[in-house]
Amino acid sequence: MSRIKNLLFWVITGLMVIFWPLSFILSNNHSWPAFILSSLILVIDWFLYLKKVEYHYFLYLLLPLIHPALIVFPVVIMLLNFREFKKPLAMLVYIVLLVVIFLYSFKSFYSFSIFTPDPLAQDTLIKKISIIPNRNLAKVFENKTTIPLDKLKSNLFLSLDLNNYFFSMHPREIMGDNQNLNKFPYLAIIPFLLGLFFIPENKHKKWLLTTLFAVALSLGFINNPDKFDFLLFMPIFLLCFYGLKKISTLPNLYFWLFSLLFIPTSIAELLRIIVYK
């Protein structure tokens, strides 16, 4: 019986793994390799972290070389893991490399960032300013910083929206083809929420939370985060995986019931991805 339970556990895990990469590749034709490669950097870093490889964070310096829009990520990682750089020389080398990469990719990053000129947003801002009777109040509440701040907030909320990952943004699908993909089986939200709930007792919580925050903040600074959110695949999957492990420790009835519901519905979803994409 334990062998069957173990088999079901890995079948569920496999179904949680395959959805987003398959949907992403099928929906993006030839534009997917850079984004898949970026996500693989996080996968490799996860295994280096488990092996306790010192200064594995240096791997993240490759991200802005793969795509300049990801320059914010290694900066945030450095700030969140400042104490991990135990030797001043290692910190100095990291900062120097980061500065060189930033100078090399700044122009490209700017063209992808929330700071690029947006005539439509500027027109909307002018209309809002015209409604405010007092010029000083207009400068406070509606000014040049409003446009990038609004984009930052919108991107952050989108990256934290669970509907984006488990329900394909239904029933309020948005612009951006990749935001409406089948990223995880919708029933995977159950182990995800369990993994999130029990995060305080997770011995890898620092890696998970810092990575999630760094990716979310990086996405916030990208003008159009469509496709770039694939970086969240690894941390979200790991939370689902730990939640599934928590379910497997419950009385067998709960695990069998979850398996009975999850596997058939997820296979049906997977077939729909393959047939209709």
The neighbour count for residue 137, using CB atoms within 10 Å, is 11
138 close to 160: Cβ distance less than 8 angstroms: no
Q: Per this entry, what is the length of the chain?
A: 277
pLDDT per position as a tens digit, 263-272: 999 999 999 8
Q: How far apart are CA 54 and CA 33, in angstroms?
A: 28
Residue that the structure tokens 């999630």 belong to: 212
Q: Hey, what are 100's tokens? A: 């060189």
Chain centroid, CA 125 distance in Å:
30
Q: Hey, what are 73's tokens? A: 């990520």
State the pTM of this model.
0.89
> What average pLDDT does the segment 142-158 reach?
81
Peptide bond into 171 cis (omega under 30): yes
pLDDT per position as a tens digit, 62-81: 999 999 999 999 999 988 88
pLDDT per position as a tens digit, 187-196: 999 999 999 9
Q: Which domain holds residue 7?
A: 2-276
Name the residue with higher pLDDT: 181 or 215: 215
Number of structural domains, the chain?
1
Q: Hey, what are 159's tokens? A: 């990256």
> By three-state DSSP, how is residue 64 classified?
helix
Radius of gyration of the chain (CA): 21
